[in-house]
Amino acid sequence: MMITNPLKLLFSIIRLISFFLLSVIMIGASSQIKASANHASLITSSPDEFISENKDLSILLGNSENDDKFYQEYQELEKSCEGLSIKDVTDKAYPYYIKRQDLEKGIMLNRIAISKYESNLSYKQKLHCAVAYGNIGYHLIFERNNPLAAYPYLAKGLEIANQITFPNESQDHTLLINVIVGINTNIAKVFAMYGDYSRAMYYYRNALDIAKKDNNPVSLPLSFTDLLHFVWTSDSLSTITTGITDFRNMKIPNSSLQSMREYANLMAEAAENYLNKRFDKALLLVDSASNRYDIQVDDRRYPIFNRIIAGKIAFAKKDYAKAGEHFAATEKIIREEKLEDMYDLIYRLYTDFHTAIGNTMLAEHYKNEGLKIRDSLYNVQSYSVIRDMELALQTKDYNEELSCSYSKTERWIYIAVSSGILVLIICALIMYIIIKYRKLKKHSEKVFLKNMELMETQKKFENNEVTLIIKETQSGEESQTPVNLKACKESAPGEDIETIGQDESVSDEDLNNIYQQILEYMANSADIFQPTFTIDSLVAAMGLKIKQVSQAINSVGGKNFNTLLGEFRIKKACEIMTETCSDPSQRPTMEVLAEDVGYKSRTHFMRVFKSVTGLTTTEFLKQLKNKKK
């Protein structure tokens, strides 16, 4: 139902705003209560706790007869690094660790670097601390075959790296992207080692997406290659068909690892041919790629993955002899390099291979060997610890988001309440203005009527048509006699004023006759529909005095000339609307109708129509339609 009263509308708006403000406050309070309940339920161990509980160097360096020597060397290195920044320590560790000159020394220096971490460090120092955490995690995975110990270091490094920002195109920004991508890839490796391929795929894809977004010339080919190796060796290559095509179409900037970009492109093309069952072409491309990878990146695992992929292509081609050669060469390298993290992979390949050639005994043997690896490495307890730490990190992120949401909710409630109060104030001002406007309108109408009376009185004075009341006393009694000013002026000097006034008076019968003549004239004359028609026009047309006409209309009709004229004009307008009711196309517009009956202004016509009929033109037309029905 439509609200036509402005005050009712404003009161409705105020009620709605009040309800809205109350709802906002209640929703904000309930969301904070609910969030607090969720916050209380998510409590678990964190990577920081795991690292602090496992500080022993033997976890990083492995148990050996040289433990005492390592501890002594660590203390000496710690003293030599006093006063050095984290960046200085990681730079010092670089040749020992990355260039494999002395892995133990490199890891000890990285351990010293992370011990210097503080939350108020500069972004640059935090970046190099993240590098140290990542290096230790990488070492624990690929050198110590300890993914359980590696995960907290990788997770902590990723947490620190995600808090850092640098200007794009800067060297620090490039290093930051490389660190984030590298850590994501290594975390993916941890989950792959525990057989959780879905989580591994998540981190591999995340690494590639970050590299793509930045179009990083170093991390992009590396992250794509790691993902490709993973899906190819886990028989899920078809899941990244679109990603392979997208990578081949990308324009990657030149970098110092140009050979890795070439390697990634060749392997991507080989994957496309493999998926399309063009196995000979795929084998040629894999063989060509084997000479393109950069040994600074990984001089041991890339040759192994190339051998494995070549063997899988030969296996798909059903060239079992060739496949067996590749798998045997792969096993030899793994054993020589003591890459324990890859034993499970080669055992799975051998199981499928011997099953395909019908050697069930060897297939069963390698299957059991793989189970032994999984029973020792991929045990449920170790993996549950990693999942707990991952959940702890997610909880920490959630808590930070929760704190941020608290402030956002409070700010939103403040804005909503402030806006509501402002709207209430505006509504109150509008109500005040409307009330004042109505009072002013009524006052203006009264003033207008008073002014009209004064103007008529002034006009009568100017036309000498005002009758004075003369008080006389005769025989001790007071009496009143009307005297006409005009008659007084025209009378001869000394003439009795009372006589003049009485001679000019008109009888009631004469006034009634004059009024009937006026009605007859106005009913039959088209002149009244001219905008210029006035009382003077009526007096001139009838040959009467203006006083007689005014007195007849006022005394007999009980109205003034303008009201009488309006009644005749509005009557004509009603007749026109009635005649054209059945055919709206013939009905004139309100502007034309107003001019036809003698009004220059549509607004004036509408006002007179309302005062004469008590209806608006719209309401009158609606009544006509209802009568027709």
Band (pLDDT 50/70/90 cuts) for residue 209 is: very high
**Identity of residue 10:** L
Question: What is the reported pTM?
Answer: 0.58
Q: For residue 78, tell me if it sits in a domain.
A: no
Q: Minimum mean pLDDT among 180-189, 291-300, 338-347, 487-496: which range? A: 487-496
- The phi and psi torsions of 322 (rounded to 5 degrees) equal -65, -40
Q: For residue 567, tell me if it sits in a domain.
A: yes
- Predicted confidence (pLDDT) at residue 104 exceeds the cutoff of 70: yes
Residues 260 and 374 in one domain: yes
Residues 355 and 265 in one domain: yes
- In angstroms, what CA-CA distances link 178 with 125, 161, 250? 16, 10, 18
User: Which of 349, 378, 407 delimits the end of a domain?
Assistant: 378
Q: Find, among 36, 28, 11, 12, the residue nearest to 417 by Cα.
A: 28
Residues 496 and 566 in one domain: no
- Which pLDDT belongs to residue 57? 67
Q: Find, among 398, 395, 374, the residue nearest to 47 by Cα.
A: 395
- Which pLDDT belongs to residue 476? 44
Q: Minimum mean pLDDT among 27-31, 243-247, 254-258, 372-376: which range? A: 27-31
- Predicted confidence (pLDDT) at residue 130 exceeds the cutoff of 80: yes
Provide the CATH number for the domain around residue 516: 1.10.10.60
Residues 360 and 321 in one domain: yes
Provide the CATH number for the domain around residue 372: 1.25.40.10
Provide mean pLDDT across the span 517-539. 90
Q: Check the CA dihedral 158-159-162-164 and report its sign.
A: negative
What is the tens place of the pLDDT at every residue in 375-410? 665 566 677 777 777 777 767 666 666 666 666 677
The better pLDDT of the pair 116, 455 is held by: 116
**Percent over 70 (pLDDT), the chain:** 74
Q: For residue 342, tell me if it sits in a domain.
A: yes
Residues 494 and 524 in one domain: no
- Predicted confidence (pLDDT) at residue 10 exceeds the cutoff of 70: no
Of these ranges, 142-151, 330-339, 358-367, 392-401, the one predicted with the greatest mean pLDDT is 358-367
Give me the chain's average pLDDT, please. 79
Residues 289 and 353 in one domain: yes
User: Which of 347, 378, 409 delimits the end of a domain?
Assistant: 378
Helix (H, G, I), strand (E, B) or coil at 316: helix
Q: For residue 529, tell me if it sits in a domain.
A: yes
Residues 372 and 274 in one domain: yes
Number of domains in the chain: 4
Q: For residue 290, tell me if it sits in a domain.
A: yes
Alpha helix positions (H), 42-102: 47-53, 57-61, 67-80, 86-97
- Predicted confidence (pLDDT) at residue 8 exceeds the cutoff of 90: no
User: Which of 343, 378, 413 delimits the end of a domain?
Assistant: 378
- Widest Cα–Cα separation across the chain: 159
Q: For residue 206, tell me if it sits in a domain.
A: no
What is the tens place of the pLDDT at every residue in 580-622? 877 777 788 889 889 999 998 889 999 999 888 888 888 888 8
Residues 449 and 412 in one domain: yes
- Look up the domain containing 362 and give its range: 256-378
Contact 413, 25 (CB under 8 A): yes
Q: What gap in Å lies between CA 581 and CA 586, rounded to an integer? A: 9
Q: Give the end-to-end CA distance of the chain in Å, rounded to a whole number.
A: 25
CA quadruple 114, 116, 120, 123: dihedral, nearest 10: -50
Residues 474 and 444 in one domain: no
- Which pLDDT belongs to residue 613? 86
Q: For residue 104, tell me if it sits in a domain.
A: no
**Identity of residue 412:** W
Residues 373 and 411 in one domain: no
Helix, strand, coil shares, percent, the chain, to 5: 75, 5, 20
Residues 500 and 517 in one domain: no
Structural tokens at position 133: 């955490």
- Predicted confidence (pLDDT) at residue 474 exceeds the cutoff of 50: no
Band (pLDDT 50/70/90 cuts) for residue 354 is: very high
Band (pLDDT 50/70/90 cuts) for residue 280 is: very high
Q: For residue 436, tell me if it sits in a domain.
A: yes
- Which pLDDT belongs to residue 470? 40
Structural tokens at position 469: 């009341």
- Which pLDDT belongs to residue 345? 87
Query: C-alpha angle with apex 435: 431 to 440, nearest 5 degrees?
Result: 145
Residues 445 and 541 in one domain: no
Provide mean pLDDT across the span 314-325. 92
Q: What gap in Å lies between CA 600 and CA 623, rounded to an integer? A: 26
Location of structure tokens 């992207």? 177
